[in-house]
Structure 1
Amino acid sequence: MGGSQKGNCSGLPLSLVVIGGLLYKEERTVDYWNYIAENVNSAVSKASDHDKSPDILSLSYNHLPHHSRACFLYMGVLPEDFEIRKSKLTKLWVANGFIKPRKSKSLEEVAEEYLKDLIDRNLIMVRAWSCSGEIRSCSIHDLMRALCVIKAKEEKFLKVVNSDVDQFPKVTDNLRHVSIHKDFKYQSTRFSLEQDHDSPVRSVIFFCRNSPNYISLHFITSFRLLKVLDALAIRFDEFPVEIVELFNLRYIALTYWIKNSFPASISKLCNLETLIVNPGKFREVFNTSFLPLEIWEMPRLRHLLFVRSFLPYPSDALNGGNLVPLKNLQTLSNVVNFRWTKEVLEMMPNLKKLVISYEHDGRTEWSSYCFENFVYLHQLEILKCFFVAKSYLKYQDPLPVNIAFPPELKRLTLSGCRIAWENMSIIGSLPKLEVLKLKDHAFEGAVWEPIEGEFSLLKFLLLEETDLEHWNVDETHFQSLERLNLKYCYNLVKIPSEFGEHLTLQAIELYECSPSVVASAESIKEEQKDYGNDKFQVVVKYERSDV
C-alpha cells in the first residue's frame, strides 16, 4: 500500500488489500471466509460500475471492534497524504478518550496496540520505522481517508473545514471533532471560531498553510467541553491566556514566540495531560519556555514537550502550597540545566522518556546536577543528554565518571560528554539497550576496546564527530547489531573486520569518512555475501578525500 491507487481499477487493488487484512485479523474458518465472500459479492453488486471500492472498503469498517472505530474515524482529521508521528497520534487518541484503560498497561501502550491492529487490517499505512524497528510515523490512504470522512459525517463525528466556503459547524450540527485545513493567503488573516451557544465540539485541530499571525480565541466561553486544541499550525504572538478557562482541556499544542514565562494560571487546567510548545522560526535565542512553579500542582500531566525549557525545582515551589508528585508524567522534553536530586526523582517516578541539555559555564561543577541519580529513574526507557560549552569557553570539562543509567534503558543519545572510552562500560553493561547514538565527542580517546559480553542487545549504533582512531572488536561484541552509522569520524582508520561475521548486520552507512573506512565497509560487505547475506548494504554519502 505504498502510494495512491485511485487510478487503478477504481480502487480495487486497495479493496483487495483491505479484505486481506480483514481475513487476517478475524476467524480463520471456512464458514467465516464464506460469510466475508458473500458480503463482498453483495457490496460489488450494489456498487456502481465506476466506483465499487467504497462499499467494499466499508466492510472493513463494519467489522472493526467497537473500541477501534473512533481511532480509525479520527484519521479523517489528517489532510491527504499527511504523515503523522505515531507518538503524536496516540497522544491525540488518549486525550480524546478513545482508549479503554487496562490495569497492566498505560493508556499509551494500549493506544499503540490499537494502532498496530489497524495496521494489521491494512487500514493505516506505516510510513517510517525507527532505528530500533518500531513504528515512527504513519498515514492513511486517500481512499481510506475519504471513507473516514463519509462515515464520520454519517455518525456526526467529524467535520473537515477545507476552504472559505466551509464553515465551522454550528452548535445544532452536534459534531464532536473539527479539523481545519484552510489556506491563509494573507498574514493578517483573522480566523474566529466564535459560537452563539455552548458547543459540543471535543477537539479542534489545525492543518493550515500560510498560517495567520493571529487567531481569534473569543470562542472560549462556548467551548467548555473541548478536550483537544492542536494549533501548532497557527503562530501566536503570546500565550493565549484565554485557554486556561477550558477546564476540560487534556491536550494543548501551540506555536508561539516565547517572550515571557508561562502564566501561573495554567494550573487551572486541572485535567491537562499533554502540553506541546513550538517556538516556530525562532529556534535560537528566543525559544526558551519558562515554566511556572504552579506546574507542580498539575498531577495529571503525562507529556511535556518543548524545544527548550526551564523547569523550576520542587524545593522552590509553593511553600505550603499544593505541591504533588507528577506520578503520571511519562515524557519530559527538553529541560535545561536541571538537577536530578532525590526530591526530583520522587516527583517523577514513572518517567519513560527524558530529553535534557546542559550548558557549561566554567563555574558550575557537573557533579551539582546529580547525574549519578539517573539510575533511580526505574521506568526510564529513552534518554537523550546534550552537553555544550558557553561560547566564551575554549574547553568544556568532561562529565564525571560516576554518571549512571537505569537498567530499563532501551535508547540512549549522548552528546558532548567527553568521557574517556575506558569508561564505556557504564553504557555497555546496560542489559536492555537497543539504540545508542554518540555525538560530538560524547566519548574521547584514540582507542576503544569493548569488554566481552557488552552491548548484547544493541541493534543500532551511531558514532558522530569523534576522535576515535582504532576500534577493536571481536566476535563476542555487538552480536545483535543490525545497523552501523558513522558520521564525521575523520580519524578512524577502519571498521573492525569482525563485523563481517555478524550476520545480524543489515547495513553500514558512512557520511564523510575516509577512503580506508569505506574500503573496510566494502570488504565487510563481500564477507557478508560469502555468508549468504545478500541484503547487506553499504551506503556512502560524501566520502572524505585523504589530503
Structure 2
Amino acid sequence: MAYAALVSLLRTLEESPQPMQQIPSDLLEKVHRLLGILDDPATKNNLSIRDLEGKIRDASFEAQDIIESLISTHQLELSKSVSSGVCSCFWDIISALHDLFPAIHLCETSTDSMYQGMNLEAKGLKRVIDELDFILEALSMINDGKEDAPGAGNSRAADSSRSVASNESLPVGLDEDLLHLKDRLTGLPSNLNIISIVGMGGIGKTTLARNLYNDRLIEDRFDTRAWVVVSQNYHVQELLTILVNSTRQDGGEVHKKSIEELAVRLHKNLKGRRYLIVMDDVWDVKAWDGVKRYFPDDNNSSRIILTTRQSEVAIYPNPQSPIHQMTLLSPKSSWDLLRVTIFGQDDCPYALEKIGWKIAENCKGLPLAIVVIGGLLSRDKKEEDWKRISRDVKSAIGRNDGDQFMQILSLSYNSLPHHLRACFLHMGLFPEDYEIFVSHLIKLWIAEGFIKPLPVESLEQLAKDYLSDLINRSLIEVRRRKHNGEIKTLIIHDMLRELCLKKAEDEKFLKIVNSDCHVFPQGRNNHRRVSVHNDSLHPITVHDQHHCSLLYFCDGHSNNRLVFLIVSFRMLKHSLVACINVQTLESSNFSCSSKGDWHVRSLQFISTIEHLDNAKLRHLLFDKGFLPSPFLAKAILKHLVVLENLQTLSGLKNFRCTKAVLEIMPNLKKLGIRYVYDGSTEWSAYEFNNFIHLHKLETLKCMFIAKDNVAREPLSLNLAFPLNLKKLTLSGCRISWEEMTVIGSLPELEELKLRDYAFEGSVWEPNEGEFTKLKYLLIDRNKLEHWYADYTHFPQLQHLCLNHCFELEAIPTEIGDIGNLEMIELFRCRSSVVASAMLIQEQQQSLGNEGLRVRVNSYRDYVDSLDSTSLRQRAYARGL
C-alpha cells in the first residue's frame, strides 16, 4: 500500500499549517517523485520495485505520524496565545461533558512534555527522509537497468492460469450461454466479428470458450482454429508464433522468426479461410492492438473469441458488438455442478444431498470455488465430514488447492494500478454479504486519503471514477441502482473479500476484530485500520495509537446495547485519550483519517470536539446525533468550531436550525434531520425557516414522527428552502396540499419524495409553472383521493412512483403527455390506479411512444424479493 500511504502523506503535507518550521521543505518533493514512479504503468509488475513498496509504505506512515504529532504540538502552541476566557470556556465544556457522560474519562497530557518530545520527532523525521533518499536511489538503479515491462518481456504467452481443475467438459449451468454464443458464432454478420466474454476470475469464461471451441458443429463450420492464452505478461512475438503454428496447413512449426515474418505468415495462413481464434485471458488492450492487423476480414463469417476480466478490454476491439457478461450460477446450477464434480453421472446419496445444497450455496455461485470444494468432497463422502465442511466452506477451499485458487483470483489484484489497490483492499473492512452504499464508500475513501487530487476534477468525481474502474474489472458487483440509473449499493463476492483480507494482512492494511477477539492490542506494528464486527453481547475494547480509521458494525440483534471502545487516534495522541461510551443503533462506524476527515455514526457525542475546527471535517453521519446542552452548543459556536468544509450532516435528532448555527456550515450540501414530537415542544421552536440560509444545500431530508403514543400534530407552515435545493424528502409533516407551492416554486428541484403523510388532504391541484425541473416524484402513504395535473405542471418528469396510495382513484390521464416520462411505478395501490396507468401506457403506445413503462409491484412481489436475501444481510443493510 505504498501508493495510498504516499497520497495520504501528500495531503498531510499540503494541508499542514504554515509555517511549520520542523517539516523539511524537500520532503514534499520526494513524495511527488515517488508517486511519479509508482504512477508509471511500467512499474506495476516490476518485482524489484514491488520489493521496495513495503519500505515506502512504512516510511510514509512514520513520516505522517511524526508530522501529525508536530501539527498537534503546533496547535497547542497557538492555543497558548488564545485568551484565558476561551481556554476557560474549553475546560468548562470538558467539565460539562463529564457531568453529562460519566463514562467519558479524559486524560490531560502535560504540554511541557509535548514540547520536550519535539526534538525527538524532528530526529525521527530526518531518519525517514534518509530512508526515502535510499529508496529513491534504489529505484533509480532499477530504472537504469531497464527491466522488461509487461508486453515486452520474457514471459511465456501460453502460461495458463487454469492449473486448478475446472471440469471444462462439463458446462453445467452454461447451457443458455452456449446456445446464445453458438448462434453468434454461426449466424450473422458475415464480416469478421469479435465476441468478448467478460466476468470475474473463476466464473467460467475459459470453460465456456473451451466448450464452444471443441463443439463438433463449430469444428465443422470453421476451416481453421487457434487458441492462445495471453495472460498478464505476454510477448507479441510468442503470441504470433502460437497462432502461426496452430493455423499452418503443412503441420510444421516455425521458430526464431521476427515479428514481421510471423505477421506475414499468419496473414497468409488465414487469408481466404473461415477461421476461429480464441484469445484467452486478455488483460490489456495493447495485447489486441499488437495482433489485430494480422487478422484478415474476407467477409466469410470468421470469428474471434476474447475472454477477459475487464469490461474496458472486452468493449475495446469492437464497441458496436455486445459483450457477453458472465453471471454467477443459481443455487440449483451450483448444486448441479457440485454433484457432477463429485459423482459424475451417478446419483448423490440422499443423506448427503441436503448438506451438499448448503455447501454449494455457500460457494455463492462461483464455479471455480464449487469445483475446488467438489474435489475435496469427492475424496471423503462421510456425512459428518460434509457437515464440518459446510460450516466453513472458505476454510475448506483454503485447505484444498487453496494456494492455486487464490493465485487465480490474485491475478485481478496484481493487474490493478497502484491507485486502485487500497480502494479494493478497503472493501475487506465490511462484513461478509454487506450491502455497501456508494455515497458512504466514496466519503470513506476520501477521508482515508486514497484519492490523489487533480486540479480539473473534484475528489468525489475521482472517487466515482475509481469505483467504476473496479466494477469494470469485475472486482465488485452492483447490487442496486437509483431511479436515474446511478449506482446506489455494491457488494463484493465472498471469495474476492477473502482475497482482500489475505492481501491486506500481507500489507498490514487492516485488521478485523470480531466477537472472538474482545481486545485489540497496542503496538506500532498493528494495522492502521480496524473494523469491529460484533455479533454478540460482549463489549469490545480497541486501543491503539496508530489507527487512522475505526469502523464498527453490529447486526440487528445487537440494538440498544452499550459498546465500549477505547480509542487514542494518532492526531490526538498528545492531547487526549478518551473512553467513549457509544450507544449503537443497528450499526455504526467511526473512521478518522490522518487528516481528520471524520465519519461518525451512532456517536452520542464527539469527545474530541476541540479539534473540529482544524479537522477539515467533510462529513458527519449519525444514526441519532445531538448536541447535549444549549450551553455546550453556544460554547462550540462562539469559540471552537467553524465547519467551512462540512458537506454532509445527517442523522441529527431534534436539531434546532438557528441562523447562527447554520451559518457556521456555509458549504453544507446534504442535511438529514429527524424530529420527534413529544407533545410539549412546539414545531416552531426548531426554526425551520432558517433552512434558507444554507445557500449551497442540494439535498434535504426531514422526518417528523410522534413519540410513543403522542398524537402527531400537523407541522405549522414555517418551512423555507434554499433556492439551490435539488433533492427533497419530507416525511410526517401533515401539511395541506394547498401549501405545496412552497416546494413547487423551487427552481432547481429535481427529486421530491413525500413519505408517510408528508401532505394531507383529499385533493391536490398543482399550479402551472411550478416543478419546472422535477424529474422524480414519489408519493407514499397519504389520503389523497383526487389528483388533477397535466404536462404543464411537471414538464420534465421522468419517473413517477406511487406507494400505499389506498385512497387515490386514478392517475391523471394527461400525465402521459409529458414527453420525458419513462416510468410509472406502483406499489400497493388501488386497482383503479393500476388501470389508469395501463391506460396511459396504451394511449402513448398508440401515439408511437414506446418508451413509457409501467411497473406494478404487489406485496407478494416485495416479500419474494426479500426471500433471496439472508436475515443477516438485511440487518446489516439497514446500517451504513
Hey, what's the Cα distance between the residues in 1 that align with 2:811 and 2:581?
A: 44
2:747 aligned partner, one-letter code: P
The corresponding residue for 2:540 is 215
Distance change (3 Å), C-alpha of 1:92 and 1:212? farther
Shift of 1:383: 1.0
Distance change (3 Å), C-alpha of 1:84 and 1:2? farther
Hey, what's the Cα distance between the residues in 1 that align with 2:668 and 2:637?
A: 25
1:514 aligned partner, one-letter code: R
Hey, what's the Cα distance between the residues in 2 that align with 1:205 and 1:33?
A: 47
Hey, what's the Cα distance between the residues in 2 that align with 1:377 and 1:510?
A: 34
The corresponding residue for 1:162 is none
Hey, what's the Cα distance between the residues in 2 that align with 1:82 and 1:336?
A: 26
2:625 is the alignment partner of 1:309: yes
Distance change (3 Å), C-alpha of 1:255 and 1:465? farther
2:421 to 69, 78, 81: 69
Distance change (3 Å), C-alpha of 1:104 and 1:200? farther
Distance change (3 Å), C-alpha of 1:57 and 1:193? closer
1:225 aligned partner, one-letter code: H
Distance change (3 Å), C-alpha of 1:2 and 1:30? closer
1:354 aligned partner, one-letter code: L
Shift of 1:60: 6.0
- Counterpart contact for 2:597–2:619, Cα < 8 Å: yes
- Counterpart contact for 1:293–1:316, Cα < 8 Å: no
- Counterpart contact for 1:296–1:326, Cα < 8 Å: no
The corresponding residue for 1:97 is 449
Kindly provide the CA deviation profile for residues 432-491 of structure 1, in whole angstroms up to 9, marking residues without a partner as x. Answer: 322211122212222222223432332321111222222111222323333222223222
2:190 is the alignment partner of 1:8: no
2:591 is the alignment partner of 1:277: no
Shift of 1:540: 3.8
The corresponding residue for 1:170 is none
Structure 1 residue matching 2:635: 3-state secondary structure: coil
Shift of 1:225: 1.9
Distance change (3 Å), C-alpha of 1:297 and 1:443? same
2:481 is the alignment partner of 1:129: yes
2:840 is the alignment partner of 1:518: no
- Counterpart contact for 1:446–1:467, Cα < 8 Å: yes
The corresponding residue for 2:696 is 379
The corresponding residue for 1:350 is 667
2:532 is the alignment partner of 1:201: no
Structure 1 residue matching 2:521: 3-state secondary structure: coil
2:491 is the alignment partner of 1:491: no
1:116 to 468, 472, 478: 468
- Counterpart contact for 1:22–1:60, Cα < 8 Å: no
The corresponding residue for 1:286 is none
1:94 aligned partner, one-letter code: I
2:805 aligned partner, one-letter code: C
The corresponding residue for 1:456 is 772
Hey, what's the Cα distance between the residues in 2 that align with 1:17 and 1:539?
A: 44
2:711 is the alignment partner of 1:410: no
2:612 is the alignment partner of 1:298: yes
- Counterpart contact for 2:202–2:409, Cα < 8 Å: no
Shift of 1:76: 4.4
2:488 aligned partner, one-letter code: R
1:431 to 735, 741, 747: 747
Q: What percent of counterpart residues are identical? A: 42
Shift of 1:2: 11
The corresponding residue for 2:437 is 85
Segments of 5+ residues of structure 1 without an aligned counterpart are 42-49, 153-157, 160-172, 260-265, 279-288
- Counterpart contact for 1:503–1:528, Cα < 8 Å: no
2:545 is the alignment partner of 1:228: no
The corresponding residue for 2:651 is 334
The corresponding residue for 2:785 is 469
The corresponding residue for 2:676 is 359
The corresponding residue for 2:511 is 178
2:777 aligned partner, one-letter code: L
Kindly provide the CA deviation profile for residues 372-400 of structure 1, in whole angstroms up to 9, marking residues without a partner as x. Answer: 22122122222111123445654514332
- Counterpart contact for 2:787–2:811, Cα < 8 Å: yes
Hey, what's the Cα distance between the residues in 1 that align with 2:529 and 2:207?
A: 31
Structure 1 residue matching 2:807: 3-state secondary structure: coil
The corresponding residue for 1:45 is none
Structure 2 residue matching 1:298: 3-state secondary structure: helix
- Counterpart contact for 1:92–1:228, Cα < 8 Å: no
Structure 2 residue matching 1:89: 3-state secondary structure: helix
1:129 aligned partner, one-letter code: R
Hey, what's the Cα distance between the residues in 2 that align with 1:520 and 1:467?
A: 18
1:276 aligned partner, one-letter code: V
Hey, what's the Cα distance between the residues in 1 that align with 2:288 and 2:517?
A: 58
The corresponding residue for 2:325 is none
The corresponding residue for 2:845 is 529
Shift of 1:176: 2.5
Structure 1 residue matching 2:777: 3-state secondary structure: strand
Structure 2 residue matching 1:356: 3-state secondary structure: strand
2:759 is the alignment partner of 1:443: yes
Hey, what's the Cα distance between the residues in 2 that align with 1:371 and 1:410?
A: 18
- Counterpart contact for 1:255–1:277, Cα < 8 Å: no
- Counterpart contact for 1:132–1:434, Cα < 8 Å: no
Shift of 1:88: 3.0
Q: Which has the higher strand share?
A: 1
Hey, what's the Cα distance between the residues in 2 that align with 1:306 and 1:394?
A: 27
Structure 1 residue matching 2:676: 3-state secondary structure: strand
- Counterpart contact for 1:512–1:542, Cα < 8 Å: yes
- Counterpart contact for 1:525–1:538, Cα < 8 Å: no
1:524 aligned partner, one-letter code: I
Distance change (3 Å), C-alpha of 1:139 and 1:390? closer
2:477 aligned partner, one-letter code: M
Kindly provide the CA deviation profile for residues 133-178 of structure 1, in whole angstroms up to 9, marking residues without a partner as x. Answer: 321111335665566566x3xxxxx12xxxxxxxxxxxxx762322
Q: Structure 1 residues 378-387 or 112-121, which shifts more? A: 112-121
Q: Structure 1 residues 88-97 or 465-474, which shifts more? A: 88-97
The corresponding residue for 1:263 is none
- Counterpart contact for 2:446–2:459, Cα < 8 Å: yes
Segments of 5+ residues of structure 2 without an aligned counterpart are 1-196, 210-230, 232-277, 295-303, 309-371, 373-400, 861-880
Shift of 1:413: 0.8
- After superposition, residues 122-161 of structure 1 pair within 5 angstroms as 122-141=474-493, 145=497, 148=500, 152=503, 158-159=504-505
1:242 aligned partner, one-letter code: I
Kindly provide the CA deviation profile for residues 266-295 of structure 1, in whole angstroms up to 9, marking residues without a partner as x. Answer: 9x99954334334xxxxxxxxxx6436963
Hey, what's the Cα distance between the residues in 2 that align with 1:292 and 1:95?
A: 17
The count of corresponding residues between Structure 1 and Structure 2 is 478
Hey, what's the Cα distance between the residues in 2 that align with 1:303 and 1:17?
A: 46
The corresponding residue for 2:362 is none
Shift of 1:111: 1.8
Shift of 1:314: 7.8
Distance change (3 Å), C-alpha of 1:315 and 1:273? same
Shift of 1:414: 0.5
Hey, what's the Cα distance between the residues in 2 that align with 1:305 and 1:439?
A: 22
